[in-house]
């Protein structure tokens, strides 16, 4: 009862503060996880935030939790993963509006040609023009009979580009296969994921190359980002594992090696971290505490308040909305 009352008091009387989560600033033809905000909408969102909110750095937000002094109407901006569009599109707009932001970087893909496995999987399964009629490989639990969907018709393509995987059931057999493989691959280690991706590549045998905009930043781009006083680089593991599915030493290695890479790349301390997929367990909490991360961020949608656990801080995923709808979403949070 006391906890409930305290929660109610917090909700009614404490200043509101929130951390916003972006991934990509781009307008891709397909965005099934709703992680892309178009540059035009992003600019509208920044202009709105600049006018109506106090946009503070994530460090200040973390300090405000530690000191139990939350600033009224404060908002901090974060970007996960390290997509190249963060450098090409987000950086110039953040500079134009002079707004601080933190970039959580998964370092394994920095300077590499390879996209993240989930982006490549989406391209392979949903958008390869011609696939084999069945997916049955000994190394996989997922199976599919693609029936009349092995050829990508315009109708099929449309169903895939309009699919919202967070809220909607898969609309086609291909989408079902994608989702099943996504679930199967997500808990695995990077090495096993890559073995399985190679088998899927050979099976799909796509004629085109994967899209260049799915790449991560180059090392030089990351370094330039790190040099700008507006920006901070945060940890997001080396290979983006779902941490809770792995033993504590694996978790520790992923976090420590990522931090070391980012420290060397930017010459800055790295004491903020975001959990890949927002996924963590008690081992993760113990690990980030032992590595002395000052604050850690989930994808659990809740505001920042003085009761918040410093290693389980909430964030809100920003969708591709123009200013007015964005403002409505913010007022609901």
Least separation in angstroms between CB 122 and Zn ion: 15
Q: How many CB atoms lie within 10 A of CB 54?
A: 15
> Closest residue to Zn ion, Cβ-based?
80
Residue 8 Cβ, how far from Zn ion at the closest point, in Å? Answer: 33
Nearer to Zn ion, 47 or 244 (CB): 244
Which region, judged by CB under 5 A, interacts with Zn ion, from 73-81, 125-133, 202-210, 284-292?
A: 73-81
Which residue, 274 or 308, is less far from Zn ion as judged by CB? 274
Backbone angles phi, psi at 157, to 5 degrees: -60, -45
- CB of 89: closest distance to Zn ion in angstroms? 18
Beta carbon nearer to Zn ion, 110 or 144? 110
**Residue 43 CB coordination number (10 Å):** 18
Grouping H, G, I as helix, E, B as strand and the rest as coil, residue 145 is strand
Position 234 contacts Zn ion (CB under 5 A): no
Q: How many alpha carbons fall within 13 Å on the CB side of residue 193?
A: 19
218, 85 contact by CB (below 8 A): no
295, 272 contact by CB (below 8 A): yes
Number of other CB atoms surrounding residue 327 within 10 Å: 16
Nearer to Zn ion, 276 or 314 (CB): 276
82 binds Zn ion (CB under 5 A): no
Among 80, 149, 254, 271, binds Zn ion (CB under 5 A): 80
Residue 81 engages Zn ion in binding (rule: CB under 5 A): yes
Q: Where are the alpha helices (DSSP H) in 14-57?
A: 39-52
Beta strand residue intervals within the chain, DSSP E: 17-22, 24-25, 36-37, 54-55, 74-81, 101-105, 134-135, 144-145, 231-235, 272-274, 295-297, 316-317
Q: Measured from the CB atom, is 19 or 131 closer to Zn ion?
A: 19
147 class by beta-carbon count within 10 Å (0-12 exposed, 13-18 middle, 19+ buried):
exposed
Q: Which is nearer to Zn ion, 119 or 149 (CB)?
A: 119
Minimum distance from residue 81 beta carbon to Zn ion (Å): 4
Does 119 bind Zn ion (CB under 5 A)? Our answer is no
CB of 173 to Zn ion, least distance (A): 28
81 torsion bin: left (phi>0), alpha (psi -120 to 50), beta (else): left
81 or 120: CB nearest Zn ion: 81
* Contact predicate 103/233, CB 8 Å: yes
* Least Å from the CB of residue 234 to Zn ion: 11
Residues 266-305: x where in contact with Zn ion by CB under 5 A, - otherwise, as a string: ----------x-----------------------------
Q: Is 108 in the site for Zn ion (CB under 5 A)?
A: no
Task: List residues binding Zn ion (CB under 5 A).
Answer: 80-81, 276
């Amino acid at each position: 009862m006391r906890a409930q009352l305290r929660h109610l008091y917090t909700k009614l009387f404490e200043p509101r503060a929130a951390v916003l989560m972006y991934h990509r600033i781009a307008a891709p033809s397909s965005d099934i996880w709703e992680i892309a905000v178009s540059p035009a909408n992003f600019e509208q969102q920044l202009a709105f935030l600049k006018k109506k909110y106090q946009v503070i750095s994530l460090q200040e937000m973390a300090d405000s939790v530690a000191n139990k002094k939350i600033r009224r109407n404060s908002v901090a901006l974060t970007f996960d993963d390290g997509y190249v569009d963060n450098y090409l599109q987000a950086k110039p707009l953040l500079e134009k509006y002079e707004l601080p932001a933190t970039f959580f970087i998964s370092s394994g893909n920095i300077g590499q040609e390879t996209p993240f496995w989930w982006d490549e999987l989406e391209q392979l399964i949903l958008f390869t023009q011609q696939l084999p009629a069945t997916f049955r490989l000994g190394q996989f639990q997922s199976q599919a009979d693609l029936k009349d969907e092995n050829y990508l018709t315009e109708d099929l393509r449309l169903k895939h580009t309009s699919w919202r995987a967070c809220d909607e059931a898969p609309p086609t057999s291909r989408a079902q296969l994608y989702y099943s493989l996504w679930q199967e691959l997500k808990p695995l280690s990077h090495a096993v994921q890559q073995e399985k991706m190679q088998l899927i590549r050979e099976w799909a045998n796509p004629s085109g190359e994967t899209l260049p905009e799915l790449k991560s930043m180059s090392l030089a781009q990351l370094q330039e980002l790190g040099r700008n006083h507006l920006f901070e680089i945060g940890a997001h593991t080396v290979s983006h594992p779902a941490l809770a599915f792995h033993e504590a030493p694996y978790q520790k290695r992923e976090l420590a090696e990522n931090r070391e890479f980012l420290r060397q790349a930017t010459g800055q301390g790295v004491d903020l971290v975001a959990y890949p997929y927002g996924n963590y367990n008690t081992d993760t909490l113990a690990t980030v505490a032992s590595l002395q991360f000052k604050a850690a961020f989930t994808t659990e949608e809740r505001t920042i308040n003085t009761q918040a656990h410093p290693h389980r801080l909430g964030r809100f995923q920003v969708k591709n909305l123009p200013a007015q709808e964005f403002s409505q979403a913010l007022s609901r949070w």
